[in-house]
Every structure is written in structure tokens, then in C-alpha cells.
Amino acid sequence: MKFLCGLLVSLAVLASALMTGAFPLGGAEVISLLFSPETLDPQLAIVFWQIRLPRILAALLIGAGLSGAGAAYQGMFQNPLVSPDILGVAAGAGLGACLAIWLQMPVVAVQAMAFIGGLLIVTLVSLTARGAKHHDPILALVLTGIAWGTLSGAAISLIKILADPYTQLPSITFWLLGGLSSITPDDLYYAGTGITVGVLPLLLLRWRLNLLSLPEEEALVMGVNVRHLRLVCIVSATLITASAVAIAGIIGWVGLVVPHVSRLLTGTDYQRLMPLSLFCGGLFLLCTDTLARTVNHTELPLGIVTSFIGAPFFLTLLLRGKR
Amino acid sequence: MDITRRHFMAGLIASGLGVASPFGLTATIRQTYPATLPSGIAKVGRNLSVASHSSATGQLFTFGELPPPAAIHKILSAGAPGDPLLLAMAPEKLLGLSSYELSHAGNEFLPESVRQLPKTGRLAGRGSSLSLEQLMVLKPDLIIDCGMTGETFRSLAARTVARTGIPWLLVDGGLRHSASQLRQLGTLLGVAERAELQAQLADRFLQDAQAFADRQPIALRFYSARGFNGLETGLQGSLHTEAAELLGMHNVARQQGQAHLVKVSLEQLLAWQPEVIITQDVRSWRHITSDPVWRGIQAVAQNQVLLFPRRPFGWLDAPPGVNRLAGLRMLQARFDQTVALTLQQDLREFFRLFYHCTPDDAQWQRLMSAQ
């Protein structure tokens, strides 16, 4: 029954996303495009295949990826308030992108710099945490993540101060707010590959993710090397988040809130939690993005929409005091 | 928490310090600074006065006692839109430019004295990059800010004057008021003769633009592209699109009661189908003219993606100052044969009067080829 409901809801969301938008391209045209495209204006095909469909697929992939990464991190850090940004990947990617915008680089370079910035910060975090031998490894990771993230945030603020307030500063602000308005099929291809490569290990190792919450020795007795598993988890989540941020900017709350909703629906067993998180994340971001692009002529930044929906939920969770 | 004697004493001392802090001064300003400025003179702080001169064509707000023109030797520009205005009016009195350094390659056509002007930083409340202490070191006779003149900017000026004692002149930065702006400021700074020549040129450009706008039976639909992928734009009525709108052109991006920068999607642009796309961002221009999906937009298909020069300041925007007069003229010339005939002369005249330079042919060509 639950499965049927989920299927119906997702089909309805997908259909409404496919058939609504700024360009007059409704249900009948979409069906014609799929079955007899030669009868229609080529412009409609461009809008559908080059703009609307890549955007919908990007929303599904990014939402699923961020939510999956969030679920994995929440288990690994044994903390329900952890998001995929905990190790500074979004701040690092933001710094890379801001630097590229400030240096007036083209679109591709902005995306590449964001991706590299994200990977670089997490590598630095991991190396620094490894150096802090006399601390608990998880605590060391969180603390170094916060430190490097804050440092990147400060560098972003410095670039904002130095940037031209009439040209570069608005671009930086729009980028940091996140959005899917400029997704191209190429973006989808590269980032989609990164996200898929990151999601697969999380999905395949989902049973083992349950053991991440156990002490190292206990897990080792059960035949699982927690250190290796933790590394796989970090690499996967970083790849997902860096790829997502590179093409869509910083989209908050998806990775934090959606795993909780999924946990409420199915419990804490990662066997079921991980697939459900991926599914709900994709659906949530598709809903918010459809909203962001249809309520107005101009785009509502996606980060704002997800925060408006996510923040109240997060606060409720916090007030209920459940761990 | 229990309230012990120690806590109580600490609280008492803290509130005493709070009352004696600079916030006390803020309270004084709030009391004496009126919400809407009257046309008379009102006292603010010690020995400082706030006066407001307003006229129908432009507005000039004076905070503090303005020195006589002969006593103004050092002027500080408070923000980016004031930089081109003050560079035009009184370069010899300018302490520097608030937001620009003109010494880099490509600006060789400017006089050496202008290229050497330092970047002093902007005064914009908490977003300032020039500290009040540094301001006291620079010791200008007058601070001039140009742009929006809303309550935020007026109260900011009043607060700075109250703390530093340096008079502040706030000029309405609307492009359509350029001529009166130049004349009023010229008189106050004692450079009325130079300002009159500049105002006459501004008047001519603006009147021609108005005449052109009146002649158009159907307004040309334009989109102003910004950002690295061209998907950022200024809404109708914003400072960023004022030049094109003065020519009677129809901004496709509009939202009731709003006039700021927004992001739009390519799908929305394909629905809008603008006839002309204007930009001064070479990355936007490259992206728009090379991406096949943009070809579905009328302006791109018909090669009407116009790239504007951006030296020494942006011609269409960035900053939204008198620099936009050049962009206004150039845009009109694109659609008005009469103006096109004298465009080169007019622009050279603009550069001579506003930027005090006469670029040679090679420099002029580099300047005009925005790519």
C-alpha cells in the first residue's frame, strides 16, 4: 500500500514537473514530443530536451545524492544534525566557485573550480584529522571539518569584499544561493556521473553502514573494518556533494532533513533507509525546484525554497529533543 | 540561574557601560534627525547641521556645513556611482576613487594623474571598506555620495557626519537627472564652467534619447544579460537597465513593484523572445553567442546580441553613474541613423569632457572593440 502511494505521488510530481514551466509546453505537446516529434515546432523539442528534462533529471539526481550522503554521514557521525556539508565540502566548493567568478573565468571553469575546491577541502580535513591522533577519530573529523569550513567561509567573505559590487558580487550571491536554472545536458552528464559513482557504494554497502555506529573493535569482530568503511563513506559523500554543488550551487537542508523523514517512515535500518532516502531526496528537490521555477517569471533561488521548508522541520526536530 | 550579588553587580556595570557607549550618541541622532528631511536646516549633534535642497529635476542632500567652493580642496568619493561623476567634475580635488583602480593595462588613454588615483574604499555603513579612522587620516573637506537617496542612505550620511564632523553631500544618481546633477554639483564645488559643458552634452544625449523614445510606434523588447552565463538580469526600473529604458525600450524582465537583480531561466527567455540582448560582460556575450540553445531566441538568431565596452567604467552599468551616458548614446546609434552618423565624434567629446582624455586612433579602436 505504502509502495503504491509512493509510486502515485512520484508519478504525479514528475508529470507536473514535465508539463509546467515558463514556456508554453503542456501535457499534449510533451506526449507528442515523446511519440511523434516530427509534427511539432523544433523550438518545443529544444525547450523539452535541452532545458526542461535535464533540469528535472538534475533535481532528481542531486536531491537523491545529497539525501543519501546525508543519511550516510548521520549514521557515521552518530548525530542526527549532520548534513553532507559537515566536512566543509560545500564551503570549499563555494570558495572555488567564488574565486573563479572573481577571476572572471568562464562557466566551465567556475564549475570545475567548485568541484576541485570541494574535494580539496575534504582531503585537507581528512589529513588534518589523521594528524590529531590523541582525539577520537570522529570528533577530530568534525572539528577539523568545522575549522576548514569556517576558513573557507572567511575566504568567501574576503572575496565578496574585494569583488566588484555591481557585477561580480551579485553573481557570487546568486551562485551561493544555489539553483538549477542553468543546467545543461553536459552539466548533467558530468555531474550525474559523479553523483552516480558516489551513490553506488553507499547503496551497495548499505547493510554495513549500520555497523558504522559500533565501536571499531566490535565491528572488527563482525568482520568489518570500520576505518575502511568510513573512508569509502567520506569519498562517496564528497564526490556526490562536490558534483552537485559544482552545477547547482549550495542547496541546503536536503541532506539534513530528508534522511530524517525517511527514518520516520522506515526506521533506522540502512537496508531500507538508504534507498528510501535516495527516493525521497529526489522527489523533494524536484518538488521544490518545480515550485522555484513556476511561482514567478524570475527564479526563486533553490537554497531559499529548501530552507523555508527544511528549517521549520529542523527546528521542530530540535525542540522535540529526539536523538 | 540564581541571581547572586556578584551577578547583580556585573549586570549593573554592564548596563552602565552600555548606556555610556557610542549607542548613546545614536539615540541623540534619532531624537534630532527627522524622518523626512525638511527643506530648512535642522541641528544634528554639536555644531552640525542638516540641510536639504530639493528641486523638481534632481535632489541634492547636504549634511553638515558645506564649505565655500574656494575652501574645498580635497573631496572623497563615498561609493562606486560617485567615482565617474567626481572624476568628471573635479579630478584635481579627488583623493582617490572609492571602488576602482584605473592604473591597469588597457586604460593608457587616461591622463597619468587619473591613472595614479588610489582606491580609497567605500563608505557604506557596516559594508564599508574605508574605516572612519582612515577617513580622519585622509581628512577630506567634503564627502560626496551618489546613487540612491532613500532613508537608509540619508541616515548613514547623518551618522557619519555626526561622528566625524566632515560634511557629506548626497546626490540623486538617476541617469535622467544627469544634467541638473552636474550643474548643481559644479556650482557647489566651484567648477561651474566645466560642469556646464558636461551638462550640455548630457542634455543633448538625454533629449535625443527622449525624442527617439517618443518616435517609436512599438517599443523594442530587450533583455539585459549579466553574470557568467548571461542568466542574471536587472528588472524593469532598476539602475542597471535605465539607459535602455530611457530610449523607450521594453525590458522583458519585469515584476510589479520590484527593481533589482534577479536570476532567470533559459526556458523563460525562450518564452519572452527578446528582440535585442544587451550586455557589457564579455563572458555572457561569448556564452550567449556560442551556446546552440540560445539560438532559439530571436535576438541571438538575428545577431542582435550587443556587447558594450567597459573602460574606464562600464558603459551600460557598473557603476550606475554618469558613465552610462556613453552606453545610452551607443545604444541609440544602433537603431537611429542620425545619431549613428555622429556617434564617434559624440563619444570622443564625452571622453574629452568627462574623462579628460583624447585617445589616439589605436587606443580608440581597442576601447571600442569590447571583445
Question: Which residue bears the cell 557619519?
Answer: B160
> Rounded to whole angstroms, how far apart are CA atoms B219 and B236?
14
**Could you state, in order of their start, the residue ranges of all structural domains in chain A?**
22-320
User: Is the pLDDT confidence value at B11 over 60?
Assistant: yes
Mean pLDDT, residues B334-362: 92
Helix (H) or strand (E) holding B80: none
| Residue B297: CB atoms within 10 Å | 23
**C-alpha dihedral over A31, A34, A36, A42, to 10 degrees?**
100
| Residue B48 confidence (pLDDT) | 42
Kindly tell me the number of DSSP H helices and DSSP E strands found in chain B.
16, 12
B261 CB near a chain A CB, below 8 Å? yes
Confidence category of residue A98, pLDDT binned at 50, 70, 90: very high
Q: Which residues of A touch B (CB under 8 A)?
A: 21-24, 43, 46-47, 50-52, 55, 101, 104-107, 110, 161, 164-167, 170-171, 174, 179, 181-182, 184, 293, 296-299, 301
**ipTM summary value:** 0.80
- Per the CB < 8 A criterion, the answer to whether A219 and A226 are in contact is yes
Neighbouring residues of A288: CB distance < 8 A, sequence distance ≥ 6: A302, A305, A306, A309
Task: Give the range among A190-199, B24-33, B194-203 with minimum mean pLDDT.
Answer: B24-33
In percent, how much of chain B has pLDDT > 90?
Answer: 51
CB contact under 8 A, B268 and A23: yes
pLDDT tens digits for range B138-183 = 899 999 998 888 788 888 888 888 888 899 999 888 888 899 889 9
Give the strand pairing for B168-172 and B142-147.
parallel
| Residue B75 confidence (pLDDT) | 94
User: Is the pLDDT confidence value at A68 over 80?
Assistant: yes
Q: Of B85, B303, B277, give the one whose Cα is nearest residue B186.
A: B85
Domain B38-173 indexed as CATH 3.40.50.1980: yes
Mean pLDDT, residues B127-139: 84
Q: Which residues of B touch A107 (CB under 8 A)?
A: 228-229, 283, 287
Look at B50 and B11; give whichever has higher pLDDT.
B11
> Rounded to whole angstroms, how far apart are CA atoms A308 and A253?
9
> Rounded to whole angstroms, how far apart are CA atoms B81 and B170?
11
| Residue A24: CB atoms within 10 Å | 10
> Chain-centre distance of CA B162, in angstroms?
24
Instruction: Compute the count of residue pairs across chains A and B with CB atoms less than 8 Å apart.
Output: 100
| Residue A3 confidence (pLDDT) | 79
| Residue B28 confidence (pLDDT) | 35
> Rounded to whole angstroms, how far apart are CA atoms A172 and A178?
10
A207: closest CA of chain B, how far (Å): 41
| Residue A317 confidence (pLDDT) | 66
> Rounded to whole angstroms, how far apart are CA atoms A5 and B305?
49
* DSSP character string of A225-266: -HHHHHHHHHHHHHHHHHHHHHHH----SHHHHHHHHHHHHH
- Per the CB < 8 A criterion, the answer to whether B44 and B33 are in contact is yes
- Per the CB < 8 A criterion, the answer to whether A72 and A231 are in contact is no
Phi first, then psi: give them for residue B51, nearest 5 degrees.
-125, 150
> pTM score > 0.90 for this model?
no
Mean pLDDT, residues A79-87: 84
| Residue B20 confidence (pLDDT) | 52
Mean pLDDT, residues A38-43: 75
3-class secondary structure, B94: strand
Confidence category of residue B110, pLDDT binned at 50, 70, 90: very high
3-class secondary structure, B306: strand
- Per the CB < 8 A criterion, the answer to whether B57 and B155 are in contact is no
CB contact under 8 A, B264 and A51: no
Give the strand pairing for B276-279 and B168-172.
unpaired
Do you know the residue count of chain B?
Answer: 371
> Rounded to whole angstroms, how far apart are CA atoms B87 and B110?
11
Write the single-letter amino acid at B102.
L
Q: Which residues of B touch A301 (CB under 8 A)?
A: 263
CB contact under 8 A, A43 and B296: yes
DSSP letter (8 states) at residue B97 = B
Which CATH architecture best describes the domain B201-368?
3-Layer(aba) Sandwich (3.40)
pLDDT tens digits for range A264-300 = 888 888 999 999 999 999 999 999 999 888 888 788 8
| Residue B128 confidence (pLDDT) | 77
> Rounded to whole angstroms, how far apart are CA atoms B354 and A321?
65
Mean pLDDT, residues B356-366: 90
Confidence category of residue A165, pLDDT binned at 50, 70, 90: confident
Write the single-letter amino acid at A130.
R
| Residue B34 confidence (pLDDT) | 35
Neighbouring residues of A235: CB distance < 8 A, sequence distance ≥ 6: A198, A201
User: Is the pLDDT confidence value at B106 over 50?
Assistant: yes
The pLDDT mean for chain B works out to: 83
- Select the residue of B229, B264, B319 nearest A299 (Cβ to Cβ): B264
3-class secondary structure, A296: coil
CATH class, A22-320 region: mainly alpha
| Residue B15 confidence (pLDDT) | 66
In percent, how much of chain A has pLDDT > 90?
Answer: 38
3-class secondary structure, B218: coil
Q: Of B335, B323, B288, B329, give the one whose Cα is nearest residue B307.
A: B288
- Select the residue of B99, B286, B287 nearest A165 (Cβ to Cβ): B99
Residue B192 has which C-alpha cell?
561651474
**C-alpha dihedral over A303, B258, B100, B194, to 10 degrees?**
180
Helix (H) or strand (E) holding B41: strand B41-43
| Residue B126 confidence (pLDDT) | 65
B311 CB near a chain A CB, below 8 Å? no
> Rounded to whole angstroms, how far apart are CA atoms B134 and B120?
9
Confidence category of residue B36, pLDDT binned at 50, 70, 90: very low
Domain with CATH 3.40.50.1980 in chain B: 38-173, 201-368
pLDDT tens digits for range A223-262 = 778 888 888 999 999 999 999 999 998 888 889 889 988 8
pLDDT tens digits for range A173-204 = 888 888 898 888 989 999 999 999 999 999 99
Mean pLDDT, residues B84-108: 91
For residue B261, give the chain A residue with the closest CA. A170
Residue B161 has which C-alpha cell?
557626519
CB contact under 8 A, B255 and A297: yes
> Rounded to whole angstroms, how far apart are CA atoms B214 and B209?
9
> Rounded to whole angstroms, how far apart are CA atoms A249 and B345?
46
DSSP letter (8 states) at residue A104 = T
B145 CB near a chain A CB, below 8 Å? no
User: Is the pLDDT confidence value at B341 over 70?
Assistant: yes
Give the strand pairing for B276-279 and B221-224.
parallel
In percent, how much of chain A has pLDDT > 70?
Answer: 98
